[in-house]
Amino acid sequence: MFDRLLPKARHPLIYAGFYLVVAAVVVRIFIKLSFTSEAAAVVAGVGLFTLIAIARDSGRFVLSRRPLLYLGLQTAIVTALLSIEPSLDFLALLFVLLSLQAVLLLPDPTRYLWLAALTLLIAVIFFVNYEPG
């Protein structure tokens, strides 16, 4: 199974997929918003999200040893991004990445509680920001 640090040498596809999804989100932001101040703020937030992931992956920071702290910080960033520009519903893809990381980083009971809380948070965000179609 996967270990908590997810070394790049053992899991290159996980790393490649993570950063490809982040790159796709950034491209989609610019297609949707052009070059507005909201786009700049959201891209900066996605950049911060990516830098924190890189810092965790390096193994040298406290985030490498504390997956709950890492996941909480990343969840706060994505939640803030969705509140800056709620029309960017594709930012929820970042929650998918966080779910995958939670499954790989957390032990069994904590993993399921985290996924339940994240699912509830996503539902609340979308119910607050979007009218039922």
Q: Tell me the per-residue pLDDT of 69-120, one tens digit each, with 9 for 90 and over.
A: 989 998 999 888 888 777 777 888 888 888 888 888 888 899 999 999 999 9
Q: Is the pLDDT of residue 1 over 60?
A: no
Its domain, for residue 52, covers 12-129
pLDDT of residue 107: 87
Residue 63 lies in a domain: yes
Residue 2 lies in a domain: no
Residue 24 lies in a domain: yes
Q: How far apart are CA 94 and CA 23, in angstroms?
A: 11
Residue 5 lies in a domain: no
pLDDT of residue 3: 45
Q: Is 106 left (phi over 0), alpha (psi -120 to 50) or beta?
A: beta
Number of domains in the chain: 1
Residue 98 lies in a domain: yes
**Which residue type, as a one-letter code, is found at position 5?**
L
Residue 6 lies in a domain: no
Residue 7 lies in a domain: no
Residue 4 lies in a domain: no
Average pLDDT over the chain, rounded to an integer: 80
